[in-house]
A and B are shown apart, each in its own frame.
Chain A
Amino acid sequence: MQATKRKIDIDYTKYDFRDEVKYVYQSKRGLSREVVEEISYWKNEPEWMRQFRLHSLEVFLKKPMPTWGADLSEINFDEYIYYIKPTDRQGKSWDEVPEKIRQTFERLGIPEAERKFLAGVGAQYESEVVYHSLREDLMKKGVIFVDMDTAVREYPDLVKKYFGTVIPPEDNKFAALNSAVWSGGSFVYVPKGVKVDFPLQAYFRINAESVGQFERTLIIAEEGASVHYIEGCTAPVYREDSLHSAVVEIIALPGSHVRYTTVQNWSKNVYNLVTKRAVAYEDAFVEWVDGNLGSKVTMKYPAVYLLGKGAKAEILSIAYAGAGQHQDTGAKVIHVAPYTTSNIVSKSISKDGGRTSYRGLVKVQKGAVGVKSTVRCDALMLDEFSRSDTYPYMEIDEELVSIGHEATVGKISEDQLFYLMSRGLSESEALTLVVLGFIEPFAKELPLDYAIELNKLIKLEMEGAIG
């Protein structure tokens, strides 16, 4: 057990394959008013959305690049392809999806998961959603689960009422970019009192090189409704970087419960710059379960604005950074109303020079009495080349509150490894167990199949990979 360089790469081979697909249309490289107009044209959108896009483009061009987080200096906005239309129509059954694309999703296990335990599935390939389904009984209860483009056409009143209200284009440069060129993503509407018993899942796949994916998701849970939405994402490995910049807005009306689970495993050439935010009204409960394993750079800080008395937020995240990766992630909770509670748990692992940063904000506004908030972030470094930082910000403007904060940063414990090895486990088995134990609070919140997949990913490369 000398100072070996410990390897626990995420196995990527499963996701690293490319398809030769003929696209219906693809915009030329770079971003311009013309490209935005084209996207809007292809989508046959109402005028208000076209205006929203053009306004957002103005905002994007005016805003400087954020410099407070990860290094984004290598991003060149002129090099990306902002819109790729892979097919002419969306499938309602997998048979209607072009064969190559269908095979992709089969390899990723989506139809199988759908048969086993999902209430609905959306599958996005490049810029457009190519497949969508929802269990019939849920449809009859008035649940809506469609891609965002369809929603703009078919549910204009609902979309107009909420779209861009939680995250306006002015919020940040990448929210503005998404607002200008967004395509695909999910629209979920759960009517009053309806509880969606099984998860809805969307899967996002980038296939081409240098492409930008800008899906837009809007989830509305009416009073007393509940829904669990899962998002998965992968892409093949390319030399040129790709850009994924999503916006996710959640509106949790009084007494509703929304859980949003993500495990992103983007290839290590993807910039993943995502804005996710929820508003929670009286007694509503919003949970972000957010796993970041892939990408070159991720900047993502799921947020909840607790607007109504008694509302609750839970943000549970893990980040894993290997060689060349920077996971700049965290959480943000704004306590606006009294008696609101929040709980933030963040776990990060870095190795082989990877870097994780936790960036968090807990804000309690004046008058929000009886607030309870706890933050816990733990960072584990597997070697001396890796780095981990925490930036926990607190802005507490009310005295009658209870706030707890705990943070640990540590090397993997030699005593733990020795203890497990003294019972007969090899060093890599022991290391795997310690790491899996470290992320267990996260894994146990995932649906079983996802937890198994996550454990497998981490295990695969750890075992037998120690020199």
Chain B
Amino acid sequence: MPTLEVRDLYVSVDGKEILKGLNFTVNKGEVHALMGPNGSGKSTLAYTIMGHPKYKVESGDILFEGKSILEMKPDERAKLGLFLAFQYPVEVPGVTLFNFLWKAIQSNNLDSTSPRVSKLPRSIVDYKKELIDRIKNLNMSEIFIYRPIGVGFSGGEKKRMEILQMAMLKPTIAFLDEPDSGLDIDSLKTVADVVNSIRSQDLGMVVITHYQRILNYIKPDFVHIMLDGKIVKSGGPDIVEKLEQEGYAWIREIAAESAD
């Protein structure tokens, strides 16, 4: 049984249809790259899987370990082990990462019966120690954990805080929505190192990206190309090179052919 399966998914936002029959499967231990031009619906897929209330599932299904999660609220999905590193992380004035993430970990500890919970810190002392270790690995000062989330952070700092949260929450399936955008090359390498260090048989990852650059550092097992609300091409890492050489025009041709 696949860990996460998306079946013939149609999604609309404010009455506008965005995902148009999308199929997609990801298992623990796999790394997928999801590529596609701006506006093709990559973020929409990630938000929908996480349960954003604005994104309405018109038909199709999303299954986690064989069970539909469509009726679940975002927090319930998080407790199953789903995680989203946001393309545009949100600012929450007056709320520090330190307080908020501890609360989140406690909630996860309480409600879940999954084995991943055993890897979460139990005491606030362990939590703090792990958090500080991990933020240092991301080349950030620990003072960031005591600042209000996102407020006054640079784009790159926000992105790294997303990776930090992923590392702390130890999800089963994680979507990383453009973790590379806004990062200079050094930060990109730092982020990639951290992501690679948490790669494991217990974690399935979907790296959403517009460019192939990050895929030089995080090597995917599978690559999918999205266009206009659908996955139009799936395959191995070789697709990335072809895409690099021929651009999205090549994909558009394939899509047009298969539509005939």
Q: Which residue of B lies closest to A444 (CB)?
A: B94
Contact between A423 and B73 (Cβ–Cβ < 8 Å)? no
Contact between A425 and B75 (Cβ–Cβ < 8 Å)? yes
Q: Given known contacts A421-B75, A433-B95, A437-B94, what 14 new A-B pairs fall within 8 Å (CB)?
A: A414-B54, A422-B74, A423-B100, A423-B104, A424-B78, A424-B79, A424-B104, A424-B111, A425-B75, A425-B104, A433-B99, A437-B92, A437-B93, A440-B93
* CB-defined contacts of A430 to chain B, threshold 8 Å: 75
Contact between A415 and B75 (Cβ–Cβ < 8 Å)? no
A425–B93 alpha-carbon span in the complex (Å): 17
* CB-defined contacts of A436 to chain B, threshold 8 Å: 94-95
A77–B31 alpha-carbon span in the complex (Å): 74
A245–B71 alpha-carbon span in the complex (Å): 52
A204 CB, nearest partner CB in chain B, Å: 29
Known contacts A1-B74, A423-B165; decide if A438 and B93 are in contact (CB<8 Å). Answer: yes
- A439, CB-defined interface residue at 8 Å: yes
- A117, CB-defined interface residue at 8 Å: no
- Mark interface residues in B160-174 (1 if CB within 8 Å of A CB, else 0): 000001000100000
- Mark interface residues in A402-430 (1 if CB within 8 Å of B CB, else 0): 00000000000111101111111111011
Q: Name the 8 nearest CB pairs between A and B, nearest first.
A: A437-B94, A440-B94, A437-B95, A419-B90, A421-B74, A424-B78, A423-B104, A1-B53
- Mark interface residues in A1-13 (1 if CB within 8 Å of B CB, else 0): 1100000000000
Contact between A419 and B86 (Cβ–Cβ < 8 Å)? yes
Known contacts A2-B53, A414-B53; decide if A423 and B92 are in contact (CB<8 Å). Answer: no
B150 CB, nearest partner CB in chain A, Å: 9
A436–B103 alpha-carbon span in the complex (Å): 14
- B43, CB-defined interface residue at 8 Å: no
- A446, CB-defined interface residue at 8 Å: no
A379 CB, nearest partner CB in chain B, Å: 14
Contact between B92 and A427 (Cβ–Cβ < 8 Å)? no
A423–B104 alpha-carbon span in the complex (Å): 6
Contact between A434 and B95 (Cβ–Cβ < 8 Å)? yes
Contact between B73 and A433 (Cβ–Cβ < 8 Å)? no
* CB-defined contacts of B100 to chain A, threshold 8 Å: 420, 423, 425, 433
Q: Which residue of B lies closest to A415 (CB)?
A: B90
Q: Which residue of A lies closest to B109 (CB)?
A: A424
A433–B79 alpha-carbon span in the complex (Å): 19
A-B contact pairs, 23 of them (CB 8 A): A413-B90, A418-B74, A419-B86, A419-B89, A419-B92, A421-B74, A422-B78, A422-B84, A423-B100, A423-B101, A423-B169, A424-B79, A424-B111, A427-B75, A429-B107, A433-B92, A433-B95, A433-B99, A436-B95, A437-B94, A438-B93, A440-B95, A441-B94
* CB-defined contacts of A423 to chain B, threshold 8 Å: 75, 78, 100-101, 104, 165, 169
Q: Which residue of B lies closest to A435 (CB)?
A: B94
Within 8 A of B (CB), among A80-137: none
Within 8 A of A (CB), among B152-196: 165, 169
Q: Which residue of A lies closest to B168 (CB)?
A: A423
B53 CB, nearest partner CB in chain A, Å: 4
Known contacts A414-B53, A418-B52, A437-B148; decide if A425 and B107 are in contact (CB<8 Å). Answer: yes
- Mark interface residues in B52-87 (1 if CB within 8 Å of A CB, else 0): 111000000000000000000111011100011010
A221 CB, nearest partner CB in chain B, Å: 31
- B34, CB-defined interface residue at 8 Å: no
* CB-defined contacts of A427 to chain B, threshold 8 Å: 73, 75
Contact between A418 and B92 (Cβ–Cβ < 8 Å)? no
- B50, CB-defined interface residue at 8 Å: yes
Within 8 A of B (CB), among A216-262: none
Contact between B50 and A422 (Cβ–Cβ < 8 Å)? yes
User: Max chain B CB contacts within 10 Å: which of A2, A421, A440?
Assistant: A421
A273–B74 alpha-carbon span in the complex (Å): 44
* CB-defined contacts of B50 to chain A, threshold 8 Å: 418, 422
B57 CB, nearest partner CB in chain A, Å: 14
B71 CB, nearest partner CB in chain A, Å: 12
Contact between A425 and B103 (Cβ–Cβ < 8 Å)? yes
